[in-house]
Homo-oligomer: A and B are copies of this chain.
Amino acid sequence: MGKGRLEAFFDAVVAVAITIMVLELKPPHGAEPAELLGALPIFLSYILSFIYIGIYWVNHHHFYYLVHKISGGMLWANLHLLFWLSLIPFTTGWMGENHFAMWPVVVYALNLLACAIAYTIMSFVAVGVHGAGSDVAKAVGRDKKGKISLVIYLLSLPLAFINPMLSCACFVAVALIWFIPDRRIERVMGAGV
């Protein structure tokens, strides 16, 4: 019951964040295609962030399928994750408006890194509540993707000072890694998700 309410609140904040990002996409004043093309960098940054927030939602969905106890600490760990996710529309807007310039890309990378760390904390808090032998612990223990992502985010930071496009390549790489759903969790869950 507490789990349902936590999931619903998480989903509501994520739904609002993913949708208000589109408010950064201001309709251009003229009616020519050229004016729309001017919004292209903002549009590309919107797609990237939409996919990232989508990945967090899908992973949260899979992870909480295994969760069956909620503590006060887990509520706060989720709020902490939501805090960093709620900043994505801001950092996305800054990056898109400045056509993927160096500093906005660095800040965007830091935001993604903070989200990844917050997700890791959230999953460790859940392991603490469920115990070392639980399905939750097994799912986190096998989490190679999470570790690889953290390394790539850290790599994207110095790369931005060489060329911000290299950082963006890192962002796309991490998105691709996560895009493919985690077969192992799905196997534990069976077909009955």
Contact = CB atoms under 8 A, between A and B. Distances in A.
Interface of A: 1-2, 5-9, 11-20, 22-25, 27-33, 36, 47, 50, 54, 57-58, 61-62, 65, 69-73, 75-76, 79, 82-83, 86-87, 89-90, 93-94, 97-98, 101-104, 107, 179, 181-182, 186, 191-193
Contacts of A17: 19, 22
Main SS of chain A's interface residues? helix
A2 B189 CA distance: 11
Contacts of A71: 186, 191, 193
Contacts of A186: 71-72
Given A20-B20, A31-B104, A90-B22, A191 B97 contact: no
- Counting every copy of the chain, the complex holds 4
Contacts of A1: 65, 193
Given A13-B18, A186-B72, A36 B103 contact: yes
B191 A69 contact: yes
Contacts of A102: 31
A28 to B, nearest CB: 7
B70 A193 contact: yes
Contacts of A29: 97
